């Protein structure tokens, strides 16, 4: 079968397996220490070591040329209005550009949609990708920050505030956070887009569906725990703080298999992270078309592996054309030829 949805279904299958593993492992076999301590620690180690490896690997590879993509007016004559953000000429301006890229997805915000109507190309605004990506990433960030309350004691004030704001719209009881809904909205949009937008579907692999489905599963198991099953928060907190302070315990109170599923999915995400496209989180900071200043003619960029390349020197060239040049009455430069000879 050659369906456009194969890769999606394969990812779904993997997700199902990832859910089944802790269900059997904890629910049936009772391997709480494995799933509650060993795997989370292992995942964390893979995550951290993997990301550091990627980072060092990028940082150590040289960037031979200064190749910013200039999306705005360069700095040239003083009376010409220039774009500090899109054609940054200093480190500070590069910083600004990066800030807008990383936190506001500025380049994605430019997105357009091209349509062919008969013989006419029409460009429409297409901000939904930006919106979906923002909802998802912002939601993700807020959720991670909110989780700090499990791991840090006393709970930092900003986490409390965040939680209050996030839970301000009392949607259900107990509170369903706004960020949970928004991230689901964002993720669903990104997923549907991958399934039903012909172009995006065509370029998608299982490895593109998988992270989306994995994060969706994490969010859903999280919400389920909170809203429906209500596991023993106190016990989880106790366990999490012990975990964070490297004095792991096997949770005494029965935490429910759902908790272990949630935890295992998070561990899977952490382990998958360094080996996948998710490294764009770190990679974006290294992108030479965005993090270099457009000051090429002001400041020389050095290529560490530069090597000399032989070119046709003036002396060689003149020798070749001596006759025609003399005939045309063009000056012959013996002086330079001698000088050049001396130099070599």
Q: Which residues pair with 112 in a beta bridge?
A: 125
Decide: is 299 part of the binding site for other proteins (CB under 8 A): yes
Decide: is 287 part of the binding site for other proteins (CB under 8 A): yes
Asked if residue 123 lies in contact with residue 114, where contact means CB atoms within 8 angstroms, the answer is yes
To ligand HEM, the closest distance from the beta carbon of 99 in angstroms equals 10
Partner from ligand HEM, other proteins, none binding residue 212, C-beta < 5-8 Å depending on class: ligand HEM
Decide: is 206 part of the binding site for ligand HEM (CB under 6 A): no
Helix axes 257-272, 6-22, angle to 10 degrees: 130
What span, in angstroms and rounded, lies between the C-alpha atoms of 179 and 170? Answer: 12
Check residue 112 and report its DSSP letter. Answer: E
Kindly write out the interface string for residues 82-101 of this chain, putting x where it contacts ligand HEM by CB under 6 A and - elsewhere.
Answer: -------------------x
* Interacting residue with other proteins among 37, 70, 140, 235 (CB under 8 A): 70
Dig out the tokens for 45 from the structure.
């180690």
Stretch binding other proteins (CB under 8 A), from 32-40, 246-254, 258-266, 319-327: 319-327
* Interacting residue with other proteins among 5, 33, 53, 65 (CB under 8 A): 65
Asked if residue 337 lies in contact with residue 314, where contact means CB atoms within 8 angstroms, the answer is yes
Partner from other proteins, ligand HEM, none binding residue 137, C-beta < 5-8 Å depending on class: ligand HEM
Query: Which residue lies nearer to ligand HEM by CB, 89 or 183?
Result: 183
Kindly write out the interface string for residues 91-110 of this chain, putting x where it contacts other proteins by CB under 8 A and - elsewhere.
Answer: ----------x---x-xx-x
Decide: is 314 part of the binding site for other proteins (CB under 8 A): yes
What span, in angstroms and rounded, lies between the C-alpha atoms of 82 and 76? Answer: 8
Query: Which residue lies nearer to ligand HEM by CB, 147 or 242?
Result: 147
Dig out the tokens for 154 from the structure.
């006393």
To other proteins, the closest distance from the beta carbon of 13 in angstroms equals 11
What span, in angstroms and rounded, lies between the C-alpha atoms of 279 and 268? Answer: 15
What span, in angstroms and rounded, lies between the C-alpha atoms of 13 and 89? Answer: 49
What span, in angstroms and rounded, lies between the C-alpha atoms of 199 and 237? Answer: 45
Decide: is 87 part of the binding site for other proteins (CB under 8 A): yes
CA distances from 143 to 64, 210, 218, 220 (A): 39, 20, 11, 13
Decide: is 102 part of the binding site for ligand HEM (CB under 6 A): yes
* Interacting residue with ligand HEM among 176, 284, 315, 337 (CB under 6 A): 284
Helix/strand/coil for 55: helix
Helix (H) and strand (E) counts for the chain?
16, 2
* Interacting residue with other proteins among 174, 230, 319, 320 (CB under 8 A): 320
Residues that bind ligand HEM (CB under 6 A): 101-102, 105, 108, 133, 137, 140, 190, 194, 208, 211-212, 278, 280-281, 284
């Amino acid at each position: 079968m050659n369906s456009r949805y194969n890769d999606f279904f394969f990812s779904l299958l993997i997700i199902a397996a990832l859910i089944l593993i802790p269900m059997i492992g904890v629910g049936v076999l009772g391997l709480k220490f494995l799933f509650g301590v060993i795997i989370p620690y292992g995942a964390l180690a893979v995550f951290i070591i993997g990301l550091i490896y990627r980072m060092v690997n990028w940082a150590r590879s040289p960037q031979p040329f200064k190749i910013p993509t200039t999306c705005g007016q360069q700095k040239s004559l003083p009376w010409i209005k220039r774009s500090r953000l899109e054609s940054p000429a200093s480190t500070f301006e590069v910083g600004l550009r990066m800030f807008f890229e990383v936190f506001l997805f500025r380049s994605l915000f430019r997105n357009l949609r091209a349509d062919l109507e008969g013989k006419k190309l029409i460009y429409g605004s297409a901000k939904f990708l930006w919106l979906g990506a923002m909802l998802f990433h912002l939601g993700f960030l807020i959720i991670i920050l909110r989780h700090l309350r499990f791991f840090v004691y006393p709970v930092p004030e900003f986490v409390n505030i965040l939680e209050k704001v996030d839970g301000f719209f009392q949607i259900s009881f107990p509170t369903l956070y706004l960020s949970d809904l928004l991230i689901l909205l964002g993720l669903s949009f990104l997923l549907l887009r991958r399934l039903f937008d012909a172009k995006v579907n065509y370029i998608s692999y299982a490895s593109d569906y998988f992270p989306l489905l994995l994060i969706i599963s994490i969010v859903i198991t999280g919400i389920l725990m909170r809203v429906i099953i209500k596991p023993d928060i106190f016990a989880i907190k106790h366990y999490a703080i012990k975990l964070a302070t490297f004095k792991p315990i096997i949770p005494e109170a029965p935490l429910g298999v759902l908790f272990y599923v949630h935890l295992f999915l998070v561990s899977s995400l952490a382990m998958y992270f360094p080996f996948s496209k998710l490294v764009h989180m770190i990679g974006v900071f290294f992108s030479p078309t965005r993090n270099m200043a457009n000051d090429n003619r002001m400041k020389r960029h050095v290529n560490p592996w530069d090597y000399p390349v032989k070119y046709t020197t003036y002396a060689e060239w003149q020798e070749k054309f001596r006759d025609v040049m003399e005939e045309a009455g063009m000056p012959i430069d013996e002086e330079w030829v001698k000088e050049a000879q001396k130099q070599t």
